[in-house]
A and B are shown apart, each in its own frame.
Chain A
Amino acid sequence: MLSGGHLLSVLIFFPVVGAAALMMLRGDDHKFIRSIAMFVSVAEFVFSLLLLRGVPIGSSGYQLEEFAKWITAPPIHYHLGVDGISMFLVLLTTFLTPISVLASWHSIQHRVKEFFVMLLLIEVGVVGVFLSLDLFLFFLFWELILIPMAFLIGIWGHERRVYAAVKFVLYTMAGSILMLVGIIWLYNATGTFDLPTIQQMVANGQLVLGPRTEMLLFLAFFVAFAIKVPVFPLHTWLPDAHVEAPTAGSVMLAGVLLKLGTYGMIRFCLPLFPEASHRAARSVAVLAIIGIIYGALVSMVQPNLKKLVAYSSVSHLGFVVLGIFAFHPISIQGAVFQMLAHGVSTGALFLLVGVLYDRRHTFEISDFGGLSTPMPKLAAFFLFVALSSLGLPMLNGFVGEFLILVGTYQRHWGWAAWAALGVILSACYLLWSYQRVFFGDITREKNRTLPDVSARENWVLAIMAVVILWMGVGSPFITRRTAAATQTVMDQAEPQWAYEAAAQVKAKPHAKKLSSYAAQTMSLERPGIR
């Protein structure tokens, strides 16, 4: 069972080693420090590519497991494992970290060493969360991310950075401490912190929680995740954190940290508390839809470009939450894909905004205008990324949103109809802001002479663009590998009692056609309701 070597441990601890090495360097040789950080993060990415070999297509259950005793009382184990879903999230993390290093190559000029140490520590925490199969270990990594991220915002951020950093920590802690109580409560009921064991107990009916207890436990986990995502009424920390964070911080925050919440919902809420998840699904979906539309509307009226991108995250992540709580294998597939797509496109959008900020030191849309004349390359990249974010077919954003809407439609056509509004609105705010920034007359004299993207920025953006295109046309590469894991989640989330209820839902004939089409493209064995 445990024959995977130690790849997962290497993935978690290699950046720790890198950070420790950085800490021992003298602080004044910035170039050397950057190179080391770059080397470490690229090497980590290369290691993580080995996961693709370690997780065979169609394999269900966790692969490459590692297991060691850690704490005797209560029994806590160092238990790692990876499946199709967490593999791609790890890849996303290890991909965005070198991108963040490159993005902060020149824009970070003071306390350079500490900056990269914090960046690598965030990577450690995120990878650890995705790979942990022990609830306690998971929580430990979850909390570990908090402080480096707060430092990243608070030290290297913009004017209101301290406020944003403290707000970020307090919001996240409020959720996570309650989750700790939930984890301990769950331990009391099951006698173990081991995730696969608990999942098994839920699956074969060994673990029976009262409806009220299950709902409370579900909420303890869900609220922590919802704050991280963020789901609608809990989102207020996000615009502040994003706007004040340095570019690399925003990339990591939007790219991977938000995914921790949605990953947690897939990995913990659905499999561990299936009944409560089903009962809560309607309310969660309402919140998700409000988030989709509200985020889009707020983006539309934002005078601040970075805030616009931040609110667009609220909207896009609303799709993910909706897809998860629609309980359809296709919509969950879509949610996973959307997580990855959003990570790349929004990461790229923040990079582009960062490029503008480096030149003009402002995020106000009214300070720009007509930029396509001095910066044609940047304008091209921006258009490409904006189109991917608004869901143009052939690019990555489309695949995720399409799958989510198709899957959701099977179960609740009303939800899908409302959510589709978000797709339209995202086109409005992205294209409108693009027009205001890049077209029209040049209103500020300074903008006339702005230099176009440098060679380094060109490379970073080109890589992002290639990945965006590849994810759009080569999506089966990903969906084939996540299919089995998604099916497992579905099986765990749909115990026997739910089938009858699900069978009541009358799917429309044309919806069935759509779903079989999607099933072919994804090589999913058996879609829909059994």
Chain B
Amino acid sequence: MFPQAIDLHRVLPELIWCAFGVLVMFLQPFVRSRQLFTFLALLGSLAGTAAATTAFLHGGPGFQGLVQSDSFTFFFRLLVGSVSFLVVLAAGPYLDRENLPVAEFYALLFFATAGMGVLASAQELLTAFIGLEMSSISSYVLAGYRRDSLKSSESAMKYFLLGSFATAFFLYGIALVYGATGTTVLDKMAVSDGTSTLLKLGLALILIGLGFKVAAAPFQVWTPDVYEGAPTPVTALFSAGPKAAAFALLLRIFATVPAATRYWFWAFWVLAALTMFAGNLGALVQTNMKRLLAYSSIAHAGYILVAFAAVTSMAQGGSEEAAPAYAAVLFYLLSYALVKLGAFTIVSQLGGTGEKNLSVDDYAGLSQRQPFVAAMLSIYLLSLLGLPVTAGFFGKFYIFKAAVNSHLISLAVLMAINSVIGAYYYLRVIVAMYMREPSAEAAAAGPVPFPIGVNAVLLITFVGTILFGVYPNPVINFILRPSLLAH
């Protein structure tokens, strides 16, 4: 059967991203101009993001319920679209500096973005699997994009091997769930018998597969190596985009399928606690900025999982009560994406050609050499730390609130303890920037130039961080609407 026009409307952003990806690939042999590709990439990612609005206005299920275009999808499409737009802005100067080809990079980025869009909109598990594969396979290649760097190749190899393994878990989980319920469509599953062991097992495997993608402990071991080896703009993408998309799918699955809620609640409780500690304790001893931020992103996945524990413990009372917990997840992902993009962009730019200056020691005395950059990075780090007036403060506040709402006081206390541990390593960077003297060669080298694209990324993420840290109303009102998840 041929798809209806309305179906196409509802997946318009993904169509646009794919079309631009293909277009860039076609043009690559014929066009030499790097500027043209960068322009096309910016245009494509913006167009796709804008198309999310029309998809939202023509919302509803598409392709007989394979995908769903609702407020939830809209939010995540905007998020991953903006992430890829910002990554393009930051990657342009990076690719020039490292003398890497541009066209393939943008094409892969488009496919990855489209995959994330599919993940966020999927209402059916096989569709979700396609989205997952699209985004994962592009990510594997992007991680190894600096072919002449051993670290980059190591990163790609590790990501590929472990990632495929995790995807296999996910696929096997789908098979078991299908065996138990006879369907792969989420809302049909919702009405099926929730007590079957096969269904529980299948959901457990799906949880493991997605747990790998979001870097939840004990499936997080790949993260520091992959984040460290990948080109830094790609690291920025990894930490913001695919993570958000995987969390989106996880949220949709566990919000729609109420099977064995209590059981999932404990799974999430344990995952959250483990992940927070694994991330924060690991980050304490890091000296490389990329690894430090990688461990911090594990820790933040743990904070988000706290909200998941809150969701699953509330889910018995219906989605009405769980709404603030959903909102906490969404708001946190937004604030986190802004901050991580900004921080990784600065790290990428300060790294210099070949990404040599990545150690925390290289940041010593940065406030004297480049006061604005140091101030921005401090704001990002303070947002990760959750201090006012940053978006991260409200993100953490909403998660605390969700946890306390669900009477998960002990988990909230664990999260509080982790926030304090986290304070130590974020402060270490700030201390290096403000309270230590620059090394002689760093002082002699003079300030690192910041091209306009990079500055634009910093400006956007900075304004976003402060704006949502002072006035989160528009976002929070949008994601608190009762029709967030259409069934």
Q: Is the pair B413, A170 in contact by a Cβ cutoff of 8 Å?
A: no
The answer to whether residues A71 and B476 also contact, given A140-B388, A147-B387, A184-B404 and a CB cut-off of 8 A, is yes
Contact status A72-B387, CB under 8 Å: no
Chain A positions 124-155 with a Cβ under 8 Å from a chain B Cβ:
136, 140, 143-144, 146-147, 150-151, 154-155
Q: In the complex, which of the residues A151, A155, A170 contacts B423, with contact meaning CB atoms closer than 8 Å?
A: A170
Q: Which of B1-40 contact A (CB under 8 A)?
A: none
B472:A177 contact, CB within 8 angstroms: no
The answer on a CB contact under 8 Å between B476 and A73 is yes
Contact, CB under 8 Å: A144 / B404: no
Given contacts A72-B477, A73-B480, whether A166 and B431 have CB atoms under 8 Å apart is yes
Shortest Cβ distance from B419 into A: residue: A177
A74 contacts B401, C-beta separation under 8 Å: yes
Binary per-residue interface labels of chain B (447-483) against chain A in the complex, 1 for a CB within 8 Å, 0 otherwise: 0000000000000000000000001110011001000
B401 touching A187 by the CB < 8 A rule? Answer: yes
**Which of A165, A170, A180, A185 is B431 in contact with, Cβ under 8 Å?**
A165
Bound together, the chains give a CA A144 to CA B389 distance in angstroms of 8
Distance in angstroms between the alpha carbons of A231 and B405 in the assembled complex: 31
Q: Flag whether B397 is at the interface (Cβ < 8 A).
A: yes
Contact A162 B400 (CB under 8 A): no
A173 within 8 A of B: yes
* Contact mask for chain A residues 202-228; partner B; CB cutoff 8 A; 1 contact, 0 none: 000000000000001000000000000
Among A74, A154, A173, A216, the one with the most B-chain Cβ atoms within 10 Å of its Cβ is A173
Provide the B215-232 mask, 1 if CB < 8 A to any CB of A, else 0: 000000000000000000
User: Which residues of chain A are near B480, meaning CB under 8 Å?
Assistant: 73
CB distance from A72 to the nearest CB of B (A): 5
Q: Are A178 and B413 interface neighbours, CB within 8 A?
A: yes
Beyond A144-B389, A180-B397, A184-B404, whether A166 also contacts B424 by CB under 8 A is: yes
A74 CA / B471 CA spacing, docked (Å): 13
Assuming the contacts A177-B419, A188-B405, asked whether A155 and B473 have C-beta atoms less than 8 A apart, the reply is no
B435's partner among A146, A155, A173 (CB-CB below 8 A) is A155
Bound-state Cα–Cα, A146 to B175, Å: 52
Interchain CB contact (< 8 A) of B400 among A143, A174, A181: A181
A173-B401 contact given A71-B473, A71-B476, A178-B416, CB 8 Å threshold? no
**Contacts A72-B476, A140-B388, A173-B419 hold; do A154 and B412 have CB atoms under 8 A apart?**
no
B409 touches A (CB below 8 Å): yes
Task: Confirm or deny: B434 has a beta carbon within 8 angstroms of a beta carbon on chain A.
Answer: yes
B57 sits at the interface (CB 8 A): no
Per-position contact with A for B414-457: 1 when CB-CB < 8 Å, else 0?
00110110011001100100111000000000000000000000
Q: How far, in angstroms, from A170 to B420 measured CA to CA in the complex?
A: 6
The contact string, 1 if C-beta is below 8 Å from chain B, for chain A 166-200, is: 10011001100110110011011000000000000
Are A169 and B416 in touch, CB under 8 angstroms?
A: no
CA of A371 to CA of B105, assembled, Å = 73
Contact between chains at B472 and A162 (CB < 8 Å): no
A161 at interface, CB cutoff 8 A: yes
> Closest B-chain residue to A140, C-beta based?
B388
Which partner residue on chain A sits nearest B427 by CB separation?
A166
**Is B382's beta carbon under 8 Å from chain A?**
yes
With A74-B401, A170-B420, A173-B423 as known contacts, state yes or no: A181 contacts B431, CB within 8 Å.
no
Which chain B residues border A216 with CB–CB below 8 Å?
409
User: B471 — which chain A residues lie within 8 A by C-beta?
Assistant: 71
**B-chain residues with CB within 8 Å of residue A150 when the two chains form the complex:** 427
Contact A155 B434 (CB under 8 A): yes
- Which single residue of chain B is at the shortest CB-CB distance from A216? B409
A73 contact set on B, CB distance < 8 A: 324, 327, 476-477, 480
| CB pair B404 A185 closer than 8 Å | yes
Min CB–CB distance B361 → chain A (angstroms): 14
How far apart are the CA atoms of A522 and B427 in the complex, in Å? 48
Residues of A within 8 A of B473 (CB): 71-72
Q: For B406, give the chain A residue with the smallest CB separation.
A: A188
Q: From B476, which residue of chain A is reached at the shortest CB distance?
A: A73
Bound form: Cα–Cα A155–B420 in Å:
22
Q: In the complex, what distance in Å separates the CA atom of A187 from the CA atom of B434?
A: 38
A residues near B327, Cβ cutoff 8 Å:
73
Assess A143 versus B435: contact at CB under 8 Å? Given A169-B423, A187-B401.
Answer: no
Query: In whole Å, how far is A298's beta carbon from the nearest beta carbon of chain B?
Result: 27
Q: Mark A13-43, 1 if CB is under 8 A from B, else 0.
A: 0000000000000000000000000000000
* Shortest Cβ distance from residue B440 to the other chain A in the assembled complex, whole angstroms: 19
Report how many A-B pairs have Cβ atoms within 8 Å: 79
CB atoms of B431 and A144 under 8 A apart: no
Per the bound structure, the CA–CA distance linking A140 and B469 in Å amounts to: 11
Q: Is the CB of B431 within 8 A of A162?
A: yes
Closest-by-CB residue of B relative to A71 is B473
Decide if A184 touches B400 in the complex (CB within 8 Å).
Answer: yes
Contact of A147 with B435 in the complex, beta carbons under 8 Å = no
| Residue in A closest to B469 when the chains form the complex, CB atoms | A140
B-side contacts of A181, CB under 8 Å? 400, 404, 409, 412-413, 416
A271 to chain B, nearest CB (A): 21
A174 to B420 CA separation, bound complex (whole angstroms): 6
Chain B residues contacting A143 (CB-CB under 8 Å) are 387-388, 393
Docked pose: A72 CA to B480 CA in angstroms: 11
**Which of B387, B405, B416, B435 is the one whose CB lies under 8 Å from A165?**
B435
CB distance from A156 to the nearest CB of B (A): 10
Q: Let me know if A140 and B389 touch, CB within 8 A.
A: yes
**Of all chain B residues, which has the CB nearest A189?**
B404
B contact residues around A174 at 8 Å (CB): 417, 420
Q: Which residue of A lies closest to B400 (CB)?
A: A184
Q: How far is the CA of A181 from the CA of B417 in the complex (A)?
A: 11
The reply to whether A144 and B423 contact each other, CB–CB distance below 8 Å, is: no
Task: Evaluate contact between B389 and A161: CB separation under 8 angstroms.
Answer: no
- State A162–B433 Cα separation when bound (angstroms): 12
Which of B393, B400, B416, B480 is the most central at the interface, judged by chain A CB atoms within 10 Å of its CB? B416
Cα of A188 to Cα of B400 in the assembled complex, Å: 11
Separation of A177 and B413 alpha carbons in the complex (Å): 9
B470 nearest in chain A by CB position: A70
Task: Give the residues from 85 to 135 in chain A that come closer than 8 angstroms, CB to CB, to chain B.
Answer: none
In this complex, what residue of B is CB-closest to A180?
A: B400
A170 CA / B416 CA spacing, docked (Å): 12
Closest to B378 in A: A147
Kindly list chain B residues whose C-beta atoms are within 8 Å of the C-beta of A180: 397, 400, 416
Q: Tell me if B472 and A71 are in contact (CB < 8 A).
A: yes
Q: Nearest Cβ in chain B — how far from A352, in angstroms?
A: 27
Query: A72, A155, A184: which has the most chain B beta carbons within 10 Å?
Result: A184
Residue of A nearest to B416 (CB): A177
CA distance A177 to B418 in the complex (A): 10
**Closest CB in chain B relative to A128 CB, distance in Å:** 11
Instruction: For B434, list chain A residues within 8 Å (CB).
Output: 151, 154-155
Please, what's the 1-or-0 string for B382-412, where 1 marks a CB less than 8 Å from any CB in chain A?
Answer: 1000011100010001001100110001001
CA distance A174 to B435 in the complex (A): 23
How far apart are A442's CB and chain B's nearest CB, in angstroms?
A: 37
Residue in B389, B417, B427, B435 whose beta carbon sits within 8 Å of that of A169 in the complex: B427
Whether B388 contacts A154 by the Cβ 8 Å rule is no
Taking the nearest CB of chain B, how far is it from the CB of A108, in angstroms? 15
For A185, the chain B residues whose CB sits under 8 A away are 404, 409
- CB of B287, distance to nearest CB on chain A (Å): 16
Nearest-Cβ distance from residue A19 to partner chain B, whole angstroms: 13
Q: Which residues of B contact A (CB under 8 A)?
A: 324, 327, 382, 387-389, 393, 397, 400-401, 404-405, 409, 412-413, 416-417, 419-420, 423-424, 427-428, 431, 434-436, 471-473, 476-477, 480
**What are the 8 closest A-B residue pairs judged by CB atoms, nearest first?**
A177-B416, A140-B388, A154-B435, A184-B404, A174-B420, A181-B412, A184-B401, A177-B419
Sample of 5 more A-B contacts, CB < 8 Å, known A154-B435, A169-B423, A188-B404: A146-B387, A150-B427, A173-B420, A177-B419, A181-B400
| Interface pairs (22), CB distance under 8 Å | A71-B472, A72-B473, A73-B477, A143-B388, A144-B389, A154-B431, A162-B431, A166-B424, A166-B431, A169-B423, A170-B420, A170-B423, A173-B419, A177-B419, A180-B397, A180-B400, A181-B400, A181-B412, A181-B413, A184-B401, A188-B404, A188-B405
